[in-house]
Chain A
Amino acid sequence: MYKTEVRGTLIKGNKNYHQVSSDIIAPIDQPIPLWWKAAFGISLLAVVYGIVAIYLTVSIGIGTWGVNNSVGWGWEIINFVWWIGIGHAGTAFSIFLLILRQRWRTSINRAAEAMTVVAVGCAALFPALHMGRVWLAFYIFPYPNTRGPLWVNYNSPLFWDFIAISAYLLISASFWYFGMVPDFATIRDRATSKVKKAIYGFFAFGWTGSSREWLRYEALSYVLGGIAAVLVVSVHSIVSTDFAVSVIPGWHTTIFPPYFVVGAIFSGFAMVMTLMIIIRKLYKFQDYVTDSHLNAIAKILVFISLIMGTAYASEIFIAWYSASDYEFFTFFRNRITGDYAFEFWAMIICNAIIPQLFWSEKIRKNLTAAFIISIIINIGMWYERFNIIVTSLSKDYLPSSWTTYNPTWVEIGVYIGTLGLFVVGVLLFFKYIPMIAISEVKGVLKPTSQKTNHHD
C-alpha cells in the first residue's frame, strides 16, 4: 500500500482500482436514501423561506431588514463574510496541499472544493441583495457606457471585492470542474442508462484517458492551482479591506488582511471537517476518509485557533496601546464589556478556547467531539464577523448616533435561505458527483513502482 512516513496508509481496506471506482460511484448508482430525501425536503423549505425573504427585500426595500442609519450593514454582510470564509477551505485545502504535494489531500479535496463553490455562490448573493437598488447592480461593473463615460470608482474596496469574488468564484469553479473531468468519464463509461451516459458524457468533455490528456490535465491543475493559491490569499484580504480602508474604530486596522485570511481558512477547515464526518458516516467512506485525515485537520485547526487567539489579543492590545479613545471604547467598552459582550465572549470561547481541546488525541479521535467542535468553530466565526461589523458601527465616533441593531425575520430568512441552498447544493453533490476524486485516489492507492492489479 501507499504509505508515507508520517501518515501511514492513506487508503485503508486493501482496495483495488475497481473497488475504488465502485465504492465511490456507488451513491450515484444506488437509489436515493431516505435521509437524503428528508434533508433535501427540509433544505428546500429553507430555500423557499429565503426566496420569500429575498422577494420582500427586493420588492419592498432594505427597510424590511433591521439595519438603520447608523448600522448600515448587518446580517447580510456578516453572512457574506462568513460564507466567503467557508468558501475558502476547499480551494485553500486542495491547492496548498497540491502545491506542497501532500497527497493525502486526495480523499478530501473534491468535497472541499464542491463546498467552496456552493459557499461562494451563497456568499455572492449578499452583496447583490444588500444594494438598495439591486436592479442597477450592473453599475458596479466597469462597462463602456455613454454616461460621460461614467466609470466605476477604482478606489472603492467594494469594487475590489466585486472583482476578487468573481475571479475567485470563476477559478474555484473551474478548478473543481476540471478536476472532475476524468471522474465524469469514469461514470460515463460505467453508466447503463442512455440519459446518464449522455449527461455525464457531456460533462466529461470527451475524455478518453490518453497519456496526452493526463499530461495536460496535470499541467492545467497546476496552473489553475497556482492562480487560485494567489486568489485564496487575495480574496479575503480584499474582503477585509472593506473594513480596513474605512475610518471606523474597530474596522480601521492593519491586521485585518492576514487576520481575515486565517480566519477564513479556520472556518473553512472546520466546515470541511463537519462535512467529511458526515460523508464518512453516511456513505461509509471510512476507508477513504480515515481517522488520520480527520486527525490532520484537527491539528491544523488547533494551530489556526492559536493564530486567531493571537490576532484577537493583538487587536485588543493595539486598541489600548494606540491611545485612541475611540478604539479603546470600541474594544473595551462595547465588546469586552457592554452591550455586545455576549457576542465578543462567544467569539473568544468558540474560536480561541474550545478548539484547544484538540491538543488531546482522545478528542481528536472522538468523531462526535470533533464534529461538535467543528460546528462550534463555525458559530464562533459567525460571531467574529458580527463583532467586527455590528459593534463597530453601533457605537462609533459621535455618541448621538449610537444605536443598536436587531435583525428582522426577513434578513434572518435570507440567511436561512442560503443555509438551505448550501445543503441543497451539497446534497446534489453527494448524489450526482463522485464525492472523492476517483482518479486521484487511485494515484495514491499504491506506490507507482508497485505492480498493479488492474481489473478495469
Chain B
Amino acid sequence: MEKKYYSSIESLTGKTDTSTSTDNIEKSFLDLLREEVATKSTSRRNFLKLCGFTLAGAALASSCENPVKYAIPYLNKPEEVTPGASLHYATSYYDGFEYNSIIVKVRDGRPIKIEGNPHSPISRGRTTQRVQASLLSLYDGTGRLKEPLKDGKPITWNDADSDIIQRLNDISNTGQQTIILSSGIISPSSKALINQFLSKFPGRHITYEPLSVTGHLLANKVNFGITGIPDYLFDKADLVVSFSADFLGTWLQPLEFAFRYGQSRDLQNGKQKLNKHYHFETGYTITGSKADERFTMKPSEELGLILQLYDEIAHLAGQKKQPTKSTLPIIKKIATELWKAKGKSIVLSDNNDPSVQLIINSINNTLGNYGQTLDLDRLILTRVSYDNDMEMMVKEMNDGKIGGLILWNCNPVYDYQDSEGFIKGLSNLKLTASLNSTENDTNQHFRYILPSPHYLESWDDAEPKTGIFSLTQPAIRNIFNTRQAQDSLLAWMGQQTDYFQFIKDHWQNNILNSSTDTWTDALQKGVFEKPVSTSGNGYSEGILYDALTSIRNSVDSKKIKQLEVKLYASIALGKGNHCNNPWLLELPDPLSKISWDNYASVSPKTASINGYKTGSIIKILDFSIPVYVQPGQADDTISIALGYGQKNIGKPGSNIGVNAYRLVNSQIDHRSLFRQIDKPIILEGEYTLAISQKHGSLEDRPIIRETILKKYLENPESGNELHREFEEKHVTLYKEVTFPGHHWGMGIDLNKCIGCSTCVIACQAENNIPVVGKEEVLRSRIMHWMRIDRYFKGSPDNPEVVYQPLLCQHCDNAPCENVCPVSATNHSNEGLNQMAYNRCVGTKYCINNCPYKVRRFNWFRYATNEKFDYNMNSDLGRMVLNPDVTVRERGVVEKCTFCVQRIQAKKLEAKMENRPLEDGEILPACVQSCPADALIFGDLNDPESKVSKFYKEPRNYHLLEELHTLPSIGYLTIVRNKEEDQV
C-alpha cells in the first residue's frame, strides 16, 4: 500500500476543519471521555484511562490557550529592513527644557528604545530619565493630536492652509502683527525659516518657556555681551558652591553635568581627589543629597547669603569693602575655601533674578573661574526665552495690537501664571492656530488645531551649544494625520520645498564646510561639531552696582509672612510636558519616593508646629494640596513640584496632582519660583500619597557603607571593614560553583550615583515592565525591576541622603533558586539568576526568600486589561514593547535578567564575527543609560575587565554579604568630602 503522509487527522480522513481553536481539542477529548463512559462498564483499567484523559485534557486546556494571530510578511522586502534585526537612527531630543542627542532603536519599523548617542559630546551615550521615557509619548493614543481640526471639527490640510493664508494676509493688510509663540527653539533651520516667515507676514517670534533662565541670560548679556550661558565644567572644579541649583536633576543641562560631576566624585583606580560641594537649598533635591555639606535656607534668605559671600570674596580680593559682622561663619569658611581654590571653583545659583546673577557672575569673575571651570567658548544655548516677552505679548494681545497667534509646542493656559489674561487676549485675535503635537489645556481655546508629529516622526536640527550641531530625523512614518510645524509655515509661505530639503539646504549653505563634511555623515552620526574660536574673558561689570544696591535694599526690607513657597521642576515630569507619560508618572521621586502626585513638602518642624502630617490637605491660595513631611526641608517653607495638575492631556495624565504654576511670582523682568504666603489652613479629610518606600532609616545596618575623604585617604577600606571580615570567613560545605565561560557581574559606584532614576526608566523601556497605577503602588506592588533605595541619615532637620540602586543581585548562592518547587528560577552557567516564566506556577516563595526583595509578582494581567489602562492596553501603546523580551503573564514572578537578551545578542555578534567579546561591549539598559557613569557591567572571569578591577577596589562590598548569597553585584562605598562623620 502506498504510504500516505498526513499532517493532521483531518487531512487523512478528508474532513476539513480549519479552526485552530483549542475548544475543538478539548471537545474531542470530552467526546472520547463520553464514549468511554457510555460504552464501557467501569473497570480499574478504564478508570485509569479516564484519569489519564482528564489529566491530559487539563494540561492541554491550560497550556494551549493563546489564540493564533497572523503576521503578514512583506511582498517585497524593503532594502534596509530585516525582520527581527534592529536599525539604529541618530536623532535629537529637545523640548525647550533639555537637550539630548540620542540613538533610536527601530525594530520592524517601530521605535522601541532610546539610547544616548555616543558620538555626541553632550550625551556621551547617555540620556536623562525624561528623554528615555519620551519614546512612550510617540505611542500615546489619548494624549496626541491626531488630525487637523477647525472649531473642533476635522478639516483637510488644504482647506486649513487656504483659510490660514487668507487670514494671515488679512492681518498683514490691516497692519497687525502675527505672533509665533513657541517653546524654546534651538534649531538654526527653524530660526531661519521663522525669519523668512515673519518677513512675509510681519510679526514677531516669541519664545515662551515656563521655566526659564532669564536672569542668567540678562546678566551674561550685561557682563559678556553674549546670548547664552557659559558651560559649567564640574569635572574641573574642586569646589562647587550651589545656591539651590539642582544641576544634577533638572537645571540647565543635567545629563552633561551629572557625567562631569560623576568624574569629580570618582575614586576608582587609585584616584585620590574628590571635589567639595556646598549646597544651599529649600527643598531636598538630588543635587543637595550629593553635596558634602548641605544647608537649608528659605528662598528669601538666598539673596542675603549670596550678598554675604560677595562681600567676603570682595574683601579677600582686596577691595575695600569691609564685610558686615553678621556674616555667617559658614559663608566665611566657604569664601576662604573659594579663595584658595581660585580658578578651580564654581559658584552658581538657579535664581532667576538678573541682579542675583550679576553678583554670582562677579564672584566667579573675581575667583578667576571664567575660562577655567566656566567655558565661555561653547555656550549652552538650550535655554533661550526671556520672561518679559510673554508679559508684553499678553498685554499687546489685550490691547488689540496683535492679529494672529500661531502656537507651537507650548501650553500657556496651563503653565503661564496669568492664563486668564492670555485667554482673554485670544478673543481679540483674527487667527488662532495651534501647531502643538499633544492635547493640552491651551488647544481648546484655539480655532485651528494643526497638529505636529512627535519628534521621532520629524525632521529638525539643533545647536545646543555653540558650534555643536545635531540633526533630528524621523524613525517612523507619521502615525497620525499630522504635519510638521515647519512644513505648515512653509506651506503658508507658499513654498514648494519641504522642511527636510530646507534643513539640508540650510546645513549645506551655512553649517557644513562643503569641502570636507557631508550631509550623510552628519545625519549618520547625528552630531556635527564645528571648531570655535577662543575668545578672551571680556568681563565687564555693567550695572553690578545697581544690582547690589537693589539686592541690599530688598534684603533689608524683607516682608515677613508666615511661610514661603518654592516651586521646582520634578525629576519625573520636568516642566510638565511629560505629564501624560505613564512611565514618568509612576517614577517615584528620588527623595520622597512618591509617584502619581505632587504634594506640598514641609519640614518636620513646620509640620508639628502647624499640625500638618503626611496626607493632610492644606489650602494654598485657591487650591488644595496634600502635605508630605520631608526631612531636610527648610523650616517655614513649602516646596511644590510643577508639571502636575493638567486637565486635558489625555489618559492617564489628566487631573493628576495640582497645578502649581499659578503660584509663579511675576517680577519686572523675570518670573520667580518662590513667593511668600499666609499660613495655609488645613482642610477636612486625608489624602493618600503613593509612597513606594515606606521606611527611610538604615536602622544601623551595614547596607550602605560610608566614610569621609580623610579616613579614606588613611585607609581605603575605611567604612568597609566588614567586607574583609566576611571574605575571610567565606566557607562552604558544598562544592564551590564555577563558571567556566563567562561570569557576568555588575559594579555600582554609590559615590557616583546621583539617584536620578534614569536606570529605572531605561529598564522599564527595555524589559516591557508594566505600569500598575497609584492604587497598586500604594499596595507595595510597583513592578520596577530596578529601584533606587533612598535612606536618610542624621537629624530630620537636615539629614544626609544616600541612594542605592537595587536590582536582582544574581547571587551565585541564590536563596530564591533552591526554594522554587518547579525549578522555574535557576542559575545559568554564566552566573545569571534566570527565570523561566513558562515554568513558574507563582508560589511566591522566591519573593519571600529573596533578602533583597527584588522579585516582582504579576498580581494581575497587566497587558490588555481595562483596569490597567496604560500603554499596554492599546494596540498603539503596545508597539513600544521590546520583542526580545516576553510580556509576562498573570501569576508569574519576574525580575532583572541583567538584560540577558542584550548579552545573547552581543555574544552572537562576536561569534558571527569570530572574535572574543570585548569588555564593555555588553551594556544592560541601566548601565547604558546612567548619566553619572556609576554602573559598569562585564565578565568577572576576565581579570582585565573593568568589573573585575572594580571588585578589587578596597571600597567594594556586596549587599548582605553576611548571608553568603554571593551576589554578582558590587557596591563601592560612599566617600564624602567633609571633616566630620555625621552620627
Contact = CB atoms under 8 A, between A and B. Distances in A.
> Does B associate with A?
yes
Interface of A: 60-63, 66-73, 127, 130-140, 150-153, 155-159, 162, 242, 245-248, 325-326, 329, 393, 395-404
Given A69-B856, A398-B789, A137 B698 contact: no
Contacts of B679: none
A115 to B, nearest CB: 28
B510 to A, nearest CB: 53
A155 B813 CA distance: 14
A133 B839 contact: no
Contacts of A158: 819-821, 843, 845
B841 A132 contact: yes
A136 B841 contact: yes
Interface stretch (B433-441, B776-784, B915-923): B776-784
B848 A248 contact: yes
Interface in B803-846: 804, 806, 815, 818-823, 839-845
The 4 closest A-B pairs by CB, nearest first: A132-B842, A132-B891, A63-B859, A401-B853
Contacts of B960: 397-398
A246 B58 contact: no
A245 B58 CA distance: 33
Name the residue in B62, B697, B779, B856 with the highest tally of chain A Cβ atoms < 10 Å from its Cβ: B779
A404 B778 CA distance: 11
Given A61-B890, A73-B848, A152-B822, A247 B963 contact: yes
A367 to B, nearest CB: 42
Contacts, number: 172
Contact of B847 (A66, A72, A157, A242): A72
A401 B890 CA distance: 22
Nearest to A242: B845
A67 B821 contact: no
A14 B349 CA distance: 101
Contacts of B822: 139-140, 152-153
A396 B850 CA distance: 10
B669 interface: no
B960 to A, nearest CB: 6
B455 interface: no
Given A61-B890, A138-B59, A156 B695 contact: no
B739 interface: no
Interface stretch (B241-249, B518-526, B699-707): B699-707
A137 B791 contact: no
B851 A133 contact: no
Contact of A156 (B703, B820, B889, B893): B820
A265 B891 CA distance: 34
A266 B729 CA distance: 41
A73 B844 contact: yes
B693 interface: yes
9 contacts: A62-B859, A69-B780, A69-B847, A69-B855, A73-B848, A127-B843, A132-B844, A248-B851, A398-B853
A289 B889 CA distance: 54
Nearest to A155: B818
Contacts of B789: 398, 400
Nearest to A406: B779
Contacts of B820: 153, 156, 158
Contacts of B697: 399
Main secondary structure of the interface of B (DSSP, over half): loop
Contacts of B806: 398, 400
Interface string B635-647: 0000000000000
Given A132-B844, A398-B853, A399-B699, A61 B839 contact: no
Contacts of A138: 55, 58-59
A248 B63 CA distance: 34
A156 B840 contact: no
A402 B789 CA distance: 11
A319 B845 CA distance: 23
Name the residue in A67, A136, A157 with the highest tally of chain B Cβ atoms < 10 Å from its Cβ: A136
B852 interface: yes
Name the residue in B789, B843, B893 with the highest tally of chain A Cβ atoms < 10 Å from its Cβ: B843
Contact of B893 (A70, A132, A137, A397): A132
Given A131-B841, A159-B821, A398-B960, 14 more contacts: A62-B857, A63-B859, A69-B780, A69-B782, A132-B890, A150-B823, A153-B821, A158-B819, A158-B821, A395-B695, A397-B853, A400-B787, A400-B806, A402-B695
Interface string B940-983: 00000000000000000001100101000000000000000000
Contact of A248 (B693, B823, B849): B849
Task: Name the interface size band of chain B.
Answer: 35 or more
Contacts of A248: 848-849, 851
B858 interface: yes
B696 interface: yes
A133 B823 contact: no
A441 to B, nearest CB: 36
Contacts of B849: 246-248
Contact of A130 (B776, B843, B858, B892): B843
Contact of A140 (B61, B776, B781, B821): B821
A329 B697 CA distance: 13
B781 A68 contact: yes
Contact of A325 (B693, B700, B780, B839): B700
A451 to B, nearest CB: 47
Name the residue in B55, B790, B819 with the highest tally of chain A Cβ atoms < 10 Å from its Cβ: B819
B853 A61 contact: no
B851 A247 contact: yes
Contacts of B853: 69-70, 396-398, 400-401
Contacts of B819: 155-158, 245-246
A325 B701 CA distance: 8
Nearest to A62: B859
Interface in B885-926: 889-893
Contacts of B59: 138
Contacts of A135: 58, 61-62
A128 to B, nearest CB: 10
Interface string B764-781: 000000000000100111
A11 to B, nearest CB: 42
B861 interface: yes
B561 interface: no
A255 to B, nearest CB: 19
A158 B791 CA distance: 35
Nearest to A65: B859
Given A69-B853, A153-B822, A400-B791, A133 B859 contact: no
Given A135-B62, A397-B852, A398-B853, A130 B844 contact: yes
Contacts of A130: 843-844
B782 A61 contact: no
B891 A131 contact: yes
Given A246-B819, A246-B848, A133 B55 contact: no
Contact of B839 (A68, A137, A139): A139
B730 interface: no
A150 B63 CA distance: 15
A159 to B, nearest CB: 4
B845 A72 contact: yes
Nearest to B62: A135
B545 interface: no
A60 B845 CA distance: 20
Given A63-B860, A135-B62, A399-B701, A72 B696 contact: no
Nearest to B848: A72
A68 to B, nearest CB: 4
Nearest to B818: A155
A130 B843 CA distance: 6
Contacts of A131: 841-843, 891
A179 B861 CA distance: 48
Contacts of A246: 815, 819, 848-849
B340 interface: no
B848 A399 contact: no
